Structure 1
Amino acid sequence: MIYIFAIVSIIGIAIVLLFFLLMMVLNIRMLGSIRGNGVRINEKQFPDVYERVVKMSNQMGLKDVPDVFVIQSEGILNAFATRFWGRNMVVLYSEIFDLGREEGKEELDFIIAHELSHVKRRHVWKSILIAPAQFIPFLSQAYSRSCEYTCDREAAYTINDVGAAKRALTILSVGKQVYREVNEDAFVEQIQNESHGAVWISEILSTHPNLPKRVQSVSLFMENAQRPVYKENAGKVAVGVTILGAVLMAAYLAFIGGLILVGTSLGAIFAGLFVDEFDEFGQSSDWAFGESPEEFEGSYDEYDFYNDYEMTDLMIAIYEEDLQAVTELINQDVDLEEQDLYGDTAIMYAVESFDQDILEEVLIAGADPNVLDSYETTPLITAIYSGFYDGAILLLDYGADPAYRDIDGDTAYSLMDVSTEEDLYEALLDE
C-alpha cells in the first residue's frame, strides 16, 4: 500500500527515494569501514576457512562465493550477511572467528553456513523491499525471526552436524569458553520455565528468536528421535503482559501529565513575556519587547495615568496616600462627589486605598457613603469585598446602607452571612 501511494504521489516518490538514499549512505559508510579495516578471507588469508566457505557456497548452489571479512568485535559474538555495490558479503566478528582456531571448526561452519543461507534466500534484498513494514508494529520483527529459523535449519542441513549447530547457538548465549558444559535439555526447558510477560515482549520486539527456541527448532528439524517439545505457558505470559501493560499505561499517563504540566508552565512563562502588561500605575509595560525598567523611568508624561483617568487633585492625593494633601484640598472646599472617567468619586478611592485615616477624613468632610460607581456598587460593598473591614465599620458609622443590593444581588448582610445590622457589626469586628 505504501509503494502504491508512492507511485501515485509525487511527494510519496520523493519520500521513498529519500529513504532509500539515506539507507544507502548509512550502509556505504558502515561497509566501507569494514572493507577498509577488516581482514578478508581468501586463498592467501586463512585458506582453510576459505576452502570451507567455497565448499558450503557450492553446496548451497550460490552462483558466486560471497566476500567474507573478519572484524574486531570487542568481545561481541555476532556475524551478519549484507550487500555492497552488488556484492554479497559475510562479516564475522573476531570472537566468533576464534572458534575456528580453538577446536570449534564445526560450530564456526554452522555460523558461516547460517549467513550464507541469508545470502542464498536474498534476505538482505527482501528486507530492503519490505522496509515499509517497519511502520507496522511487530510485523518486520516477526518476518526477521522467521528468517532466522529458516537459516538455522538450512545451515544445520548443510554441515550435517546437528550437535555442532546446537552448540553454536549455545555459544551465542553463554560464550565460547563453557558452552560445551551447558545441559541442552535444561537449556531448552527454559522455554517453559521462563514464561513471563517480560520475556514474551522482549522476543516479539526482537529480530531474533530466543536462543532456547532456536536450539529446539534445529533439534526437531534434524533429529528423528522423539524429544519433549517445550512451549510457553500462555497463562503466565498473559498475566505478565497484563501487569506490564498496566504499568506502562500508568507510566505513559504520568508522562503525558508531566508534558501537559510543563507545557502549561512554559505557556504561562511565554505569555508573561509577550502579553502587554500594566504596572501599578496602569502604564503599558513593554519590557518583554526590549524596554528595561530604567528606560521606562521618566516616561510618565507620555503615559499620564492621572489625566487618562480624569482624576481630580483630591483623588490623586488619596491614591498617593498623602493625608496632609487630602486635608488641605478638603479645606479648600473641593467637590467631594466629582467623578473620574469610570464614575468613581473620592470616597471610592479612599476605600481602595485601605487607609482608614484618609477614609475618615473624607467622610467627616461629608462624602456620600452610599454613592454608586459605574458598576452600581457602594463603598460599603467594595470594602467588604476587598477585606477592608475596619473601613466597612467606619462607613456604617457614617450612614452606609447595609441593605443595598448590587447587580449581583449581594448586600453587606449576605456577604457577611448575617441578617441584622448588629450582627453585621459583630461579624466585621470578628474579622
Structure 2
Amino acid sequence: MNAIDLETSLIHKKENRYFVLALIFSVFIYLCLFISIIFIFILPILILLPLFAQAIMMASIRTNGVRITPRQFPEVFAIAQAQCERMGFTVVPDLYVMESSGILNAFASRFFGRNMVVLYSDLFEMIQAGGEKELTFVISHELAHIKRNHLSKQLLILPALWLPFLGEAYSRACEYTCDRMAAYYTNDAEAAMNGLTILAIGKTLYKRVDREEYLLQSSYEKGLFVWLAEKLSTHPPLPKRIYAIQQYAGISSNIIFKTSSSRIALIIVLAVILVLGGSVTIGVTFSKSIDTFMSSLDGPPTDDQMLGAASEADLELVKSLLNAGGNPNAADDEGWTALMWAAQLNETAIASSLIDAGAQLNVIEQSYEETALTIALYNESIEMVALLLDEGANPNLQDSTGWTPLMTAAKNGDIEGAELLLKAGADPLKVDETGYTAEDYALDAGFDELAELLQNLGDQI
C-alpha cells in the first residue's frame, strides 16, 4: 500500500463528508456576506479576529511554556522526532510543555505556517511513571492534526464551526481520524487505549480500570441529554474513542455502541437551520439527515425511523410504523436490524410484531457477525431466545469462524439457553475453526455442569 492509499485508509469515513458540508455552508455564508452592505464590517471580524486570538495564544505559550529540545527533556524530543520521521514530517513542530492545574490534555496549533504541539505538564509526567508508550500516542495524535491540516481547514470553514452540530460533528470525525493515525504510527493499540483511559481518570488510576466494564457502562447511557452532550461536543466520548481503536485494531469485544434514534436529531437540526437561515432549503442542502426527514413526510416510514423506534423500545411506535408500511427488516449501514435491537433490549413484544410483519430471523450483521439469536444469548434474554427459536431461528447457523449459538451459550455458562438450543436441534458436535466444540468452551470457562450436559448429548449422537 503506497503512502496516499495508507493515509486514505486511516481517515475516518465521516471526516471528508462533514468537511464538504461545512465548506458548502461556509461558502454560502461568505456569498451572502459578499452581497450584503454589512460585508465590509463583518469580514474583518470573521477572519481577522480568530487569527488575532490564535497569534496571542501562541505568543503566550512561547513566552511562558518550556520548549522541548534536544537539550531540554531530550527523551521526549526523541519520541517526537521519531514519530515525525514515521509520519513524513520534514521538520519537527515546536514542542512545549505547560503547567495545567491538574488537567490531562494536549493540543496542536498553527499560525502562518508555524506548527506547535503543547503538552500539559500532568500528562507530560507520564514518562516518569512508565507511560512512555502512552505519551507517544498522545504526541502522535497531535501530530496527526497537523498532518491532516485540520488547523488550517478550520479557518476556512469558520461559519460552519459556529453552526451547532455541524462544526462539532466535523471536529469529532477529525478526532477519530487522529486516534487511528496515532495508533497506526505507534503500532500499539494497547498504548492508544491506555492513553485515552488516562484522559478519563488520570495517569495513576488508569491501570486499575476494567476497560470492558468502562465501555459497557457508557454503552448503556442513552436519552436526550446524553445525546446532546455528545453532539454539542468537539470530542467524541472517550469510551467511544477506545471502542473505535478496538475496531480498527481488530480486537474482539461484546460491547456494542449503536447510534441513537435520529428523530430527535432531525427536529433539533431543523429548528437550528430555520432560525439561522429562515429556510428549509438551506437545511436540505447542508444536512443529509434533514433530507431524510423531509422525504419521510410524503412516503412510507424510513428505516431510520423503524430503527429509532426499536432502539427506544417503543412498541406502539413500531406497530404504527409497520401499519404504515414500514420495513420490518430495517437495518443500518453495518447490517444491524430492528429485530437485533429488540433482542438487545429483550423486547419480545416488539420482536413478535417485527416477525409477524416478515422480519428475517437469520440476518448476520457485519461488524461481529452476530444474529438476533446470538445477541439474545449474549444478554441471557431467555424469553427472547425461546421466541426466536420457536419462530424458526437457525440454532446451527455458523459465522465465518465456525462459531455457533450453542458456543455462545456454553462460553457464558447459560444452561437455560443451551437447553433451548438443544431442544431446537442445535448440534453439540459442531466445531469452529480452532477445532473447539461448545463443550470445550464450557470446560475452558469452568462451567462443568453445562459441559457434562453437552458431553452426554454428544455421546448420544
Short-chain TM bin? 0.5 to 0.7
> Partners in 2 of 1:198 and 1:43 — Cα distance?
47
Answer yes or no: is 1:104 the counterpart of 2:131: yes
- Matched residues in 2 for 1:234 and 1:61: separation? 38
- 1:173 is aligned to 2:178: no
Alignment partner of 1:209 is 2:236: yes
Instruction: Report the Cα offset of residue 238 of structure 1.
Output: 7.5
Deviation per CA, 1:60-118, whole angstroms, max 9, x where unpaired? 11232110100000101111000134210001000110011211000000000000000
- The match for 1:42 is 69
* Aligned match of 1:343: none
Q: Give the SS at the match of 1:171.
A: helix
Aligned partner of residue 38 in structure 2, secondary structure? helix
Shift of 1:144: 0.2
In structure 2, distance between residues paired with 1:141 and 1:121: 17
Instruction: Provide the C-alpha distance between the structure 2 equivalents of 1:232 and 1:201, rounded to a whole number of angstroms.
Output: 15
SS of alignment partner, residue 126 of structure 1: helix
Amino acid at match of 2:253: R
Match in the other structure for 1:222: 249
- How far apart, CA to CA, are the structure 1 residues paired with 2:164 and 2:259? 23
Inter-partner Cα distance in structure 2 for 1:166 and 1:201: 25
Q: Post-superposition shift, 1:119?
A: 0.3
User: Is the 8 Å Cα contact of residues 191 and 232 (structure 1) preserved in structure 2?
Assistant: no
Q: For 1:256-282, what per-residue CA distance to the aligned partner results, in whole angstroms no more than 9, with x for missing partners? A: xxxxxxxxxxxxxxxxxxxxxxxxxxx
Give distance in 1, aligned partners of 2:32 and 2:192.
44
Seq. identity, %: 45
Q: CA deviation at 1:170?
A: 0.5
Q: CA deviation at 1:192?
A: 2.1
**Aligned-residue offset at 1:135:** 3.7
CA contact (8 A) 2:175 2:235 kept: yes
CA distance in 2, matches of 1:88, 1:10: 36
Secondary structure at the counterpart of residue 236 of structure 2: coil
Q: Give the letter aligned to residue 257 of structure 2.
A: K
Q: Taking structure 1 as reference, are residues 144 and 233 closer, same or farther at Cα in structure 2, changes over 3 Å only?
A: closer
2:99 is matched with: 72
Distance 1:28 1:12, change over 3 A: same
Look up the match of 2:415.
none
SS at match of 1:83: strand
In structure 1, distance between residues paired with 2:224 and 2:35: 42
Size of the aligned set, in residue pairs, is 241
DSSP-derived class of the 1:118 partner: helix
The answer on whether the counterparts of 2:246 and 2:252 sit within 8 Å (CA) in structure 1 is no
Task: Report the counterpart of residue 164 of structure 2 in structure 1.
Answer: 137
Instruction: Give the TM-score normalised by the residue count of structure 2.
Output: 0.50
Q: CA deviation at 1:152?
A: 0.3
Query: Does 52-61 or 3-12 show the bigger shift?
Result: 3-12
Whole-Å separation in 1 of the counterparts to 2:60 and 2:131:
28
Cα deviation 1:105-158 (Å, max 9, x = unaligned) = 000000000000000001011111111103422100000000000000000001
User: Which consecutive unaligned segments of at least 5 residues does structure 2 have?
Assistant: 1-27, 269-461
Pair 199,172 (structure 1): closer, same or farther in 2 beyond 3 Å? same
Q: TM-score, normalised by structure 1?
A: 0.53
Q: Distance in 1 between matches of 2:260 and 2:87?
A: 38
- In the TM superposition, 1:103-252 aligns within 5 A as 103-223=130-250, 225-232=251-258, 234=260
Partner of 2:79: 52
Match of 2:49 in 1: 22
Offset at 1:13? Answer: 4.6
Cα separation, 2, equivalents of 1:234 and 1:10? 43
Aligned to 1:5: 32
Q: Read off the aligned partner of 1:31 and give its amino acid letter.
A: M
C-alpha spacing 1:234/1:147, structure 2 compared with 1 (3 Å): closer
Deviation at 1:15, TM superposition (A): 1.3
SS, match of residue 76 in structure 1 = coil
Aligned residue identity for 2:173: S
Q: CA deviation at 1:190?
A: 2.3
Q: For 1:200 and 1:120, how far apart are their aligned partners in 2?
A: 30
User: Contact 2:165–2:231 (CA<8 Å) still a contact in 1?
Assistant: yes
Residue 102 of structure 2 aligns to a residue whose secondary structure is coil
> Matched residues in 2 for 1:147 and 1:196: separation?
25
Q: Distance in 2 between the 1:78 and 1:232 partners?
A: 27
1:165-216: CA deviations, max 9, x gaps? 0010001111111101111111111232222322111010000000100000
| Paired residue secondary structure (2:91) | coil
SS at match of 1:56: helix
Larger C-alpha radius of gyration, 1 or 2? 1
**Residue 11 of structure 1, CA deviation:** 3.1
3-state SS of 1:136 partner: coil
Which residue identity lines up with residue 227 of structure 1 in the other structure?
Answer: S
**Kindly tell me: are residues 234 and 141 of structure 1, through their superposed partners in 2, closer, same or farther at Cα, counting changes over 3 Å?**
closer
What per-residue deviation string (whole Å, max 9, x for no partner) do you get for residues 293-330 of structure 1? xxxxxxxxxxxxxxxxxxxxxxxxxxxxxxxxxxxxxx
Which amino acid in structure 2 is aligned with residue 206 of structure 1?
A: S
Mapping of 1:267-346 within 5 angstroms? none
- For the aligned residue pairs, the C-alpha RMSD in angstroms reads 2.3
